[in-house]
């Protein structure tokens, strides 16, 4: 694992303190003069927290607009490595509590992931964790089961690389499944509960995959009704 440099840490701190300053200042400007009664402190702290996160997400997205995450191998000392480490600090310090540390309703989690840069189609929801939202694309009518994990980064010793995850329409990912970098899942496919889909795997339309590591269990159109395929 590579060391995060001082320059990367300072860039993150600039984003963090900017978000805090903007959030606190906006709270004071909008609510500071209102007669909030006995709950004034609670209202101001809650509003300040929401606005700090809103500005943090906006600044985070602006940073990635100018220094986007690039799929592929990230060379040490490169611009791509710099962008990823700043992104990583933002995610671990600011956004991981939203996606993993707190109870957040699934519909609200969809909004958070969209704000963080994930591409989620109509009627697609995640009850699991998307660790790299800017590198994750999900089509329409998909469900990511409870405690499933999707990540688009690979850290192997000193090697660091990124590969996007692309999921089609009407895909089901079972609870506690793991989807690794570079996985492509076509329309109508199913990933079974607890399956581990290895890096770079391509799952064709309508197939059922399961196991550790995941293997094709059934081809498209074969076997019993898919709606009953995962029942025990």
DSSP sequence for the chain: -PPPPHHHHHHHHHHHHHHHHHHHHHHHHHHTTS--GGGHHHHHHHHHHHHHHHHHHHHHHHHHHHS---SEE--TTSHHHHHHHHHHHHIIIIIHIIIIIS---HHHHHHHHHHTT-EE-TT-EESSEES-GGGEEE-SS-EE-TT-EE--EEEETTEEEE--EEE-SS-EE-TT-EE-TT-EE-TT-EE-TT-EE-TT-EEPTT-EEETTTTEEEE-TT-SS-GGGTT--
pLDDT at position 143, please? 95
pLDDT at 40 over 90: no
Average pLDDT over residues 73-97: 92
Q: Indicate whether 183 pLDDT > 80.
A: yes
Distances (CA, A) of 67 to 59, 143, 155, 178: 12, 31, 21, 28
User: Do 145 and 194 touch, CB atoms closer than 8 A?
Assistant: no
pLDDT at 61: 94
Range 160-177 average pLDDT: 95
pLDDT at 230: 45
Beta bridge partners of 184: 166, 202
Q: pTM score, two decimals?
A: 0.85
pLDDT band at residue 223, thresholds of 50, 70 and 90?
low
- In the sheet with 153-156, reading across from the earlier edge strand, the strands are 72-73, 159-162, 153-156
Active site residues: 153
Distance in angstroms (rounded) separating the CA atoms of residues 73 and 157 = 13
Range scoring the smallest mean pLDDT among 104-113, 142-151, 196-205: 104-113
pLDDT of 168 > 80? The answer is yes
Enumerate the CATH 2.160.10.10 domain ranges in the chain, comma separated: 106-220
Q: Would you place residue 222 in the very low, low, confident or very high pLDDT band (cuts 50, 70, 90)?
A: low
CATH 2.160.10.10 corresponds to the domain 106-220: yes
* The pLDDT of residue 224: 54
User: Kind of pairing, strands 165-167 and 184-185?
Assistant: parallel
- Top-confidence residue, 22 or 101: 22
């Amino acid at each position: 694992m590579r060391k995060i440099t001082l320059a990367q840490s300072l860039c993150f701190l600039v984003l963090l303190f900017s978000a805090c300053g903007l959030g606190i200042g906006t709270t004071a400007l909008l609510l500071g003069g209102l007669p909030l009664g006995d709950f004034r402190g609670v209202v101001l702290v809650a509003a300040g927290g929401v606005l700090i996160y809103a500005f943090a997400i906006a600044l985070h997205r602006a940073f990635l607009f100018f220094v986007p995450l690039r799929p592929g191998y990230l060379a040490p000392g490169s611009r791509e490595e710099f962008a990823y480490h700043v992104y990583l600090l933002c995610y671990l310090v600011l956004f991981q509590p939203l996606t993993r540390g707190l109870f957040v309703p699934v519909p609200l989690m969809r909004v958070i992931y969209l704000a963080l840069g994930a591409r989620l189609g109509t009627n697609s929801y995640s009850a699991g964790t998307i660790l790299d939202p800017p590198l994750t694309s999900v089509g329409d009518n998909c469900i990511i089961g409870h405690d499933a994990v999707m990540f688009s980064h690979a850290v192997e010793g000193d090697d660091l690389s990124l590969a996007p995850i692309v999921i089609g329409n009407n895909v089901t990912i079972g609870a506690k499944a793991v989807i690794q970098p570079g996985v492509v899942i076509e329309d109508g496919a199913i990933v079974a509960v607890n399956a581990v889909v290895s890096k770079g795997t391509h799952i064709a339309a309508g197939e059922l995959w399961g196991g550790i590591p995941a293997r094709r269990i059934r081809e498209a159109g074969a076997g019993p009704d898919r709606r009953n395929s995962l029942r025990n």
